[in-house]
Amino acid sequence: MENATTLQLDPEANSNQTIDSQEKILTGDRATGSLHLGHFVGSLQQRVQLQYRYAQTILVADMQGLTDNGHNPQKISANILNVVADYLAVGIDPLKTTICLQSAIPALAELTMYYANLVSIARLERNPTVKNEIKSKSFGRSIPAGFLTYPISQAADITAFKATLVPVGEDQLPMLEQTNEIVRRLNHIAQQDILVECKPLLSKVSRLPSVDGKSKMSKSMGNTIMLSASEKEISKAIKAMYTDSSHLRVSDKGQVEGNVVFTYLDAFHQDQDYVANLKEQYTAGGLGDGSIKKILDECLQELLKPIRQSREKFIADPSQLIAILKEGTERSNDESNDVLAQVKKAFGLNLF
């Protein structure tokens, strides 16, 4: 996409920065499980910083979570508050970031219905992101209608908040192309620019590998470290972490590439010079897996301890979590109902 903005994480970001009122961010997560270190690296850290720079809305996408869990809805409902607790625990501030619940914002469903008339089935089936997901989930033609059409629902989410910047990975760019196509069609019908096109906010951070170094990180695969992980769970995961299968003795020359421990040290260790030094030693031979795992263990225990403790406090008070989510949702309803009213007017459906 031509207009991609690349996000530079700024370690100095703080609340003294002025908000750029020109840009509006929408981001979110399907509420299919508690969040893990992959989310922390891939999105949560950025969101904490972004909230100081931009108006930011985070959508807990429970309805989208249902698109491939229609017959297993408790997987979604059980995780809504977990996800909100994860957000708060990592430092997302509900006074700066609007946190809202998709299923409690009716305008999102209504916008989806209107936009669905402007997108062909063929167009949806051509979407590379959807294609890949259909393949990876082995759906074939048994794909639920809600799943094939979820790019339309995403367009509803993005446009309902007039988001201009959407943090995504490269693989999600086709979703934003679809959104912008809908925006242009709708504006053409309205004969004025009632919706705004969005730009991707690309992160330079590469995806964190799973603990076993093989598959996609997922809670159910047990190959990740949850933000809620206990000290023991962290240590256990690091012990099981893939390093270099030919690195049998401490004296052997080890490989850094594909070594999950080093990838995690790259991602989380505060002192990257120290990590570079470790890599040299490891490559030359003479540094054991036990040693680098111990270093990573200390690093992750230090990172996750305050997050876990904070999370525990939030989880212990569900009524507070609900109140935060409700307050953000109410604000979101005001915003999205306004956009819906304009879209309905564009279709001439504003009798009352």
**Chain positions contacting a copy of itself, by CB under 8 A:** 62-63, 66-71, 73-74, 76-78, 80-81, 101, 103-104, 106-107, 109-110, 112-114, 116-122, 124-125, 140-149, 152-153, 185, 189, 322, 325-326, 329, 344, 346-349, 351-352
> Which residue number, 41 or 346, has a Cβ lying nearer to a copy of itself?
346
Minimum CB distance to a copy of itself, residue 184 (Å): 12
Q: Pick from 101, 52, 84: which is nearest to 310 by CA?
A: 84
Minimum distance from CB of 220 to a copy of itself (Å)? 19
For tokens 């935060």, name the residue. 324
Q: Which residues pair with 165 in a beta bridge?
A: 25, 199
The CB-of-88 to a copy of itself minimum distance in angstroms stands at 16
The separation between the first and the last C-alpha atoms of the chain, rounded to the nearest angstrom, is: 40
From residue 80, give the alpha-carbon distance in Å to each of 83, 92, 153, 316.
5, 16, 19, 14
Distance CA 7, CA 275 (A): 24
- Residue 176 C-beta: closest distance to a copy of itself, Å: 18
- List the structure tokens of 246: 């030919």
Q: Is residue 82 within 8 Å of residue 33, measured between CB atoms?
A: yes
Which is nearer to a copy of itself, 13 or 341 (by Cβ)?
341
Nearest residue (CB) to a copy of itself, 219 versus 326: 326
Nearer to a copy of itself, 4 or 118 (CB): 118
Nearest distance in Å: CB 259, a copy of itself = 40
Q: How far is the CB of 255 from a copy of itself (least distance, A)?
A: 44
| Strand pairing category for 5-7 and 97-101 | unpaired
Closer to a copy of itself by Cβ: residue 63 or 287: 63
CB of 60 to a copy of itself, least distance (A): 10
Min. distance of Cβ 35 from a copy of itself in angstroms? 18
Is residue 279 within 8 Å of 273, Cβ to Cβ?
Answer: no
Query: Which residue, 95 or 351, has its beta carbon nearer to a copy of itself?
Result: 351
Pick 271 or 317: Cβ nearer a copy of itself: 317
Neighbouring residues of 147: CB distance < 8 A, sequence distance ≥ 6: 67, 68, 130, 133, 134, 139
Which CA distances in Å does 73 have to 108, 127, 231, 270? 19, 26, 31, 40
Of the two residues 4 and 109, which places its CB atom closer to a copy of itself in the complex? 109
Closest to a copy of itself by CB, 59 or 201: 59
CB of 224 to a copy of itself, least distance (A): 24
If the CB atoms of residues 299 and 340 are measured against a copy of itself, the closer one turns out to be 340
Q: From CA 167, how far away is CA 26, in angstroms rounded?
A: 8
Q: How far is 325 from 318, CA to CA, in rounded Å?
A: 10
Please give the C-alpha separations between residue 77 and each of 30, 101, 326, in angstroms, as whole numbers.
11, 11, 15
Q: Which amino acid is at 206?
A: S
- Kindly state the smallest distance separating residue 34's Cβ from a copy of itself, in Å: 16
Helices 80-90 and 45-53: angle between axes, nearest 10 degrees:
70
28: left (phi over 0), alpha (psi -120 to 50) or beta: left
